[in-house]
Chain A
Amino acid sequence: MSYTLLHLMIEFLLIGTFSFGGGMATIPFLFNLADKYTWFTRNELVDMIAISEVTPGPIGVNMATYVGMKSRGVLGSLVSILSLTFPAIIVMMFAYKYLLKNRSLIVDKAFYGLKPVVLALFASGLYSVMKETLFTLDGGFHLNLFEDVLFIVIFAVSMKFKKIHPTLLILASGAIGALKYFIMR
């Protein structure tokens, strides 16, 4: 049986409706797609996620585009990102109207508890990326020396020189990674 654009559209509409917590929350859904359809394997998906993280744009959008591209070409990627964002636009329409524009006292009270939770969600997202980047936990505990030093340098530079565009720092760290490759070879 061959799968069509319609399958892709429905799957991404579902992902767009049920993934709470941003791009990282779509990853389990994408693995589910790898099992369910013949478009790509789980191993290919791991590479796709890695590439999505280091190309411009939010990681969730990149992954959706990549998955669409892999399964049904350019048209597929167009369908996948549009279906991914469509439910969000609807939800945001109501959220804006009732939560931000005509903000009642009860919303303020809810925000009082919601804001620390949002902070925790951001921090936990960062924590999981840092855990994967800065150490290796294969049975033991190893520091990834190159990444750790680079991380501290970039952190220090971004704290000290707030004028530097963050994207420049990211590109510089990518270039340093490439430099490391040519030195090590």
Chain B
Amino acid sequence: MNEKKPSLFQVCFLFFYMGLTTFGGAASMLVCLTRELVDKRGWLTEDELYDEVAVAQCSPGIIMVNTATLFGMQTYGLFGAILTTLSLLIAPFTCICLLTLILRYLSLDNELLSCIYSGIRAGLCGISINAVVRLAKKNISDLFTSIVAVVAFVAIVVFNIKTVLVILIGIILGLLGSHVKARLSRNDGGRNNSDASNNNGVTK
């Protein structure tokens, strides 16, 4: 956590704003989240944010909601977690409720809707690539992690392996991999013991 501690209102407002301005799945929300939390406000470092996102991704539920809960928990405890989560939910909830009412009384042209829809989806893909590239720069530290990433990607996309299983295997590989890595660097005669993965975000 940085020395700049935001007030509870600021945190809640930010996540209300995120609920209002993000679209689509996890990758596109990560663009906005990195931009607001790390680049603009500096409430978290990039490493801390990606640690939180990793925990959020591997837990049940919506990734964005989990990230909001974690950030609330980190800044203002359980009370903060509940408030940030609720503030994230306000905007999407209101939008969908209003939209359902509008669609009930007014039937929009389907052709127009599908054109807008395909435009937004194309835009979402365009901005989401940035998030994945940025995540890759931080989460890939050496040859071992890049192999794990590629294998996991193939396992999910080609072989449709269940997410939980991939996550578990990743954890086991991480334990084994860092063990082997520590062993190797010791055999190097202690040439360097700066294990890049082991000092991420533990600056508390």
Contact = CB atoms under 8 A, between A and B. Distances in A.
A79 B67 CA distance: 21
B184 interface: no
B43 interface: no
A159 B65 CA distance: 27
B22 interface: yes
Q: State the majority secondary structure of interface residues on A.
A: helix
B62 A119 contact: no
B23 A119 contact: no
B140 A57 contact: no
Contacts of B97: 65, 69, 74, 77
Given A103-B202, A119-B132, A85 B89 contact: yes
A169 B152 contact: no
A159 B126 CA distance: 9
Interface residues on B, range: 35 or more
B179 interface: yes
Given A113-B173, A120-B153, A126-B132, A56 B120 contact: no
Q: Majority SS of interface residues in chain B?
A: helix
Contact of A170 (B19, B70, B127, B179): B127
A78 B97 CA distance: 10
B118 A99 contact: no
Given A20-B164, A111-B200, A126-B27, A55 B95 contact: yes
B61 A85 contact: yes
Contact of A92 (B53, B59, B178): B59
B163 A121 contact: yes
A35 to B, nearest CB: 21
Interface string B115-126: 111111111111
Contacts of A41: none
A84 B198 CA distance: 34
Given A115-B138, A122-B57, 9 more contacts: A57-B95, A58-B65, A58-B92, A88-B62, A91-B59, A112-B174, A124-B153, A167-B32, A175-B119
Interface of A: 16-26, 50-62, 65-66, 69-70, 74, 77-78, 81, 84-85, 87-89, 91-93, 95-96, 99-101, 103, 105-106, 108-130, 132-134, 144, 146-148, 150-155, 157-159, 165-167, 169-170, 172-178, 180-181, 184
8 contacts: A58-B62, A59-B24, A65-B96, A106-B175, A119-B135, A166-B31, A169-B127, A177-B116
Interface of B: 19-32, 35, 50-66, 69-70, 73-74, 78, 81-82, 85, 88-89, 91-93, 95-97, 99-100, 111-112, 115-132, 135-136, 138-140, 145-146, 148-150, 152-153, 155-157, 162-164, 166-167, 169-179, 197-198, 200, 202, 204
